[in-house]
């Protein structure tokens, strides 16, 4: 059975009074006829939006909404999510376990106006390596060494993201990169910890234990689950 996007069909579009045209599972694929399909059009006003006509259709099928939505451009919107993990340890430095599996901690961030914790990633400016959200929590002098960490990291996922902001004409595609610190005395880990700062951006940052109850966006949890599986860690 094909799995269809779910978040991209939530009837209420995030942060605006728009309701999607309801799309049942079997009508998601474009190749399936859906004669009464008449989705509303919504394109948010944005200073940085690329001025372009709607071109192309969401490769994963109908979403119940046309236009650019709140995304920055028509077509694919590229995001990058670094998943920075370390082993959870108790006071004496031993790795904590749940049943027999080792436990991970992941670096998460919460922006001032959001009630959700999230991975420190998101959209990148054209020509930039690091997402804006990450730059807001890292001292500028550490940006370059973080880029190097990402280059050494492991690509866990690349492709379409089932996101509630997706529309028929604009959608999110992501690259998720795992950066794991095996050793608690890792020089890079200590350097990263000393360069995290949330003071001027109003963001909160913490190392959060990884399990299925982690209070993250659903699609971030999906990415994190892939990392936990990769390390045979508890989830």
Percent of the chain with pLDDT over 90: 61
The string of pLDDT tens digits covering residues 85-115 is 999 999 999 999 999 999 999 999 987 777 7
DSSP per-residue letters across 59-109: TT---S-EEEETSSSSEEEEEEEEEEEEE-B-TTSPBPEETTEE-EEEEEE
Q: Torsions phi, psi of 190, nearest 5?
A: -65, -40
The string of pLDDT tens digits covering residues 130-183 is 888 888 888 888 899 999 999 999 999 999 999 999 999 999 999 999 999 998
Q: How far apart are CA 221 and CA 235, in angstroms?
A: 10
Question: pTM for the complete prediction?
Answer: 0.84
Domains detected in the chain: 7-231 (3.90.79.10)
Asked if the model's pLDDT at residue 56 lies above 70, the reply is: yes
């Amino acid at each position: 059975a094909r799995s269809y996007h779910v978040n991209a069909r939530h009837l209420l579009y995030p942060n605006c009074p728009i309701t999607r045209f309801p799309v049942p599972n079997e009508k998601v694929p474009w190749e399936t006829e859906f004669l009464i399909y008449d989705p509303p059009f919504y394109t948010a006003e944005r200073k940085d939006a690329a001025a372009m006509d709607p071109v192309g259709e969401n490769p994963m099928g109908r979403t119940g909404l046309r236009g650019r939505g709140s995304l920055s451009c028509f077509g694919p919107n590229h995001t990058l999510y670094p998943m920075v993990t370390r082993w959870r340890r108790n006071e004496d430095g031993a790795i904590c376990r749940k049943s027999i599996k080792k436990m991970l901690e992941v670096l998460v961030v919460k922006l001032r106006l959001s009630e959700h914790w999230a991975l420190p990633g998101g959209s990148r400016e054209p020509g930039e390596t690091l997402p804006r959200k990450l730059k807001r929590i890292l001292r500028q002098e550490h940006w370059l060494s973080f880029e190097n960490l990402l280059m050494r990291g492991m690509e866990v996922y690349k492709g379409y993201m089932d996101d509630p902001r997706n529309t028929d004409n604009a959608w999110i595609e992501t690259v998720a990169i795992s950066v794991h610190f095996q050793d608690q005395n890792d020089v890079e880990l200590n350097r990263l910890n000393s360069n995290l700062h949330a003071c001027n951006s109003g963001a909160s940052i913490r190392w959060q234990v990884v399990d299925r109850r982690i209070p993250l966006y659903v699609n971030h949890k999906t990415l994190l689950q892939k990392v936990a599986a990769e390390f045979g860690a508890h989830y």
